[in-house]
Amino acid sequence: MTPAPSVAVICGSRSDLPALRGCFDTLDRFEIAWESSVISAHRQPEALAAYVRDAEARGVRIFIGAAGMAAHLPGVLASLTARPVIGVPLDGGALGGADALYSVVQMPPGVPVASVSIGPPGAKNAAHLAARILALTDHALAERVAVFRTEQADGAEVGIDPRAAAQGRQ
């Protein structure tokens, strides 16, 4: 039987989906059950509220909201649920995602959104942060996070002579 999703990823437009690829891949890597939806806080506010109510009832524990431009989706999610909300500001064009970053990160006290960085790197980190939150109460997931961290450290290049690296490229 497929486990009930513990993470819901919502984005404001189908045009946001390519930026979220790394988020989905990372959730898969940690074997976290997730679901994703395209629901705009601006264009479909009532559908968003109904979705959050239903997702909570089905056991979703963390919401990831991703949006560009005047990115109110993560903040509206945080107004609709007491569960953790991670916001991913996306590059919507003219302002390179700074507009979305300010919208996501500048939440008023009492309505928290954990903002990650702009675009695909932030989307990946949203999944990593969700994994770490869920790992607090999931020993097997905590092990997978620990393995990832070890592999990441092992993959880092320590003590590289930049002259040798430059020669290697020639």
Binding site for ligand RP5 (CB under 6 A): 11-13, 15-16, 40, 42, 67-69, 90, 92
Query: Residue holding tokens 């524990």?
Result: 61
Closest separation in Å from C-beta 96 to ligand RP5: 12
Closest to ligand RP5 by CB, 123 or 141: 123
Closest to ligand RP5 by CB, 66 or 141: 66
3, 22, 84, 38 alpha-carbon torsion, rounded to 10°: -80
Closest to ligand RP5 by CB, 6 or 103: 103
Closest separation in Å from C-beta 62 to ligand RP5: 19
Closest to ligand RP5 by CB, 40 or 81: 40
Closest to ligand RP5 by CB, 62 or 67: 67
Contact 60, 89 (CB under 8 A): no
Query: Coil, strand, or helix at residue 130?
Result: helix
User: What is the edge-to-edge ordering of all strands in the sheet holding 62-68?
Assistant: 34-38, 7-11, 62-68, 85-90, 114-115
The residue type at 75: G
Closest separation in Å from C-beta 85 to ligand RP5: 15
Question: Measured on CA atoms in the order 102, 103, 107, 111, is the torsion positive or negative?
Answer: negative
Closest separation in Å from C-beta 81 to ligand RP5: 19
Contact 13, 40 (CB under 8 A): yes
Closest separation in Å from C-beta 46 to ligand RP5: 16
